[in-house]
Amino acid sequence: MTRKVTKAIFPVAGLGTRFLPATKSVPKEIMTLVDRPLIQYAIDEARAAGIKEFIFVTSRGKGALEDYFDHAPQLEMELAQKGKTELLDTLKNTNMESGAVAYVRQHKPKGLGHAVWCARRLVGDEPVAVLLPDDVIAAETPCLKQMVEAYAETGGNMVAAMEVPAAKTSSYGVLDVAEDMGHMVSVKGMVEKPKPGTAPSNLAVIGRYILAPQVLDNLDSTQAGAGGEIQLTDAIAKEIGANNNVYGYRFRGQRFDCGSKAGFLQATVSFGLAREDLRDDLSQFLQDIAISQQAAE
């Protein structure tokens, strides 16, 4: 029987250079979509998928992130005194059970594969989910929950996958598909950031993974790959035909690349429009902009 996935790694040690100067002092993962920081979306998704232990791979300057999950006694007391129960409830979501969160430090930003490897001792001999908080996925059933349910049937390793235009494949890890089963594919190869025109398919890996513990062992011996970094994709690809199968899961939902400015802005608008308390004002504003732009053309 496939083991239940109860641990998740959140690699949050990146420099976030695409958001400088903001990320000089604010961790990217604390930047807010509407009123919740990016990391909260990832945590909520993990909780919905049954994750009980949360492992953050952090780095220098990420203190605000650690504080975010602490209780805030002074603030909570003041809100309670003022009878602001709704806001108190909002804060509850940010509190983590003692012992449920672990922080491990990545001392140098040597890439995603290295960040995941830094968490190896906390993972042990069981499958683990990895969530990149910059990939925010709006979905009726949270993406990781969809994957955990599919993984219960398949075991092995699973990566979230989505079709991207051919011109964009060189920005992603890309799957070489063995068999296409519709919502899922089995994988015979994976290429990190293929050179233009060489991608084996249009199916790109995005930031949700369920990994067998062997992948963390593989990271130990994986040489630096594309961009001179230790690539998670390469360590997963080593499992193909060795110990575990690798599956690409076509999730149902819309992914926003909040690691890029354009993606972040799109997510802000989309999540704003999804909120009942903001929808009317925001859509009116967007319509007004569109009209005045058309008039100017």
Q: Establish if 120 lies at the interface with ligand UTP (CB under 6 A).
A: no
Instruction: Determine the Cα–Cα distance for residues 149 and 49; give it in Å rounded to an integer.
Output: 9
Would you count residue 110 as binding ligand UTP (CB under 6 A)?
A: yes
Question: For residue 14, which of 31, 2, 1 has the smallest C-alpha distance?
Answer: 31
d(CA 86, CA 80): 10
φ/ψ bin of 155: left (φ > 0), alpha (ψ from -120 to 50), beta (otherwise): left
Query: Judged by CB under 6 A, which of 37, 127, 133, 194 binds ligand UTP?
Result: 133
Task: Figure out which of the listed residues 33, 112, 205, 236 binds ligand UTP, where binding follows CB under 6 A.
Answer: 112
Helix (H) or strand (E) segment spanning residue 78: helix 73-81
Which range in 105-113, 187-195, 218-226, 239-247 contacts ligand UTP by CB under 6 A?
105-113
132 makes contact with ligand UTP (CB under 6 A): yes
Q: Which is nearer to ligand UTP, 194 or 272 (CB)?
A: 194
Q: Does 14 bind ligand UTP (CB under 6 A)?
A: yes
Task: Give the single-character DSSP code of 31.
Answer: S
Identify which of residues 207 and 272 has a Cβ nearer to ligand UTP in the complex.
207
Locus of tokens 């060189």: 170
| Residue 45 touching ligand UTP (CB under 6 A) | no
Residue with smaller CB distance to ligand UTP, 39 or 79: 39
Q: What is the dihedral of CA 172, 177, 182, 183, to 10 degrees?
A: -40
Kindly state the smallest distance separating residue 80's Cβ from ligand UTP, in Å: 35
Contact assessment for residue 143 and residue 253, using Cβ atoms and an 8 Å cutoff: yes
Query: Which ranges constitute the DSSP H helices of 162-260?
Result: 213-221, 232-237
Nearest-CB residue to ligand UTP?
14
55 binds ligand UTP (CB under 6 A): no
Kindly determine how many residues on this chain lie close enough to bind ligand UTP according to the rule CB under 6 A: 21
CA distances from 127 to 7, 9, 71, 120 (A): 8, 11, 30, 11
Q: Does 127 bind ligand UTP (CB under 6 A)?
A: no
Among 39, 42, 46, 57, binds ligand UTP (CB under 6 A): 57
Q: Select the residue interacting with ligand UTP from 142, 248, 259, 272 (CB under 6 A).
A: 259
Cα 119 from Cα 102, distance rounded (Å): 9
Q: Is 262 in the site for ligand UTP (CB under 6 A)?
A: no
Does residue 233 interact with ligand UTP by CB under 6 A?
Answer: no
Residues in touch with ligand UTP (CB under 6 A): 11-18, 28, 57, 106, 109-112, 114-115, 132-134, 259
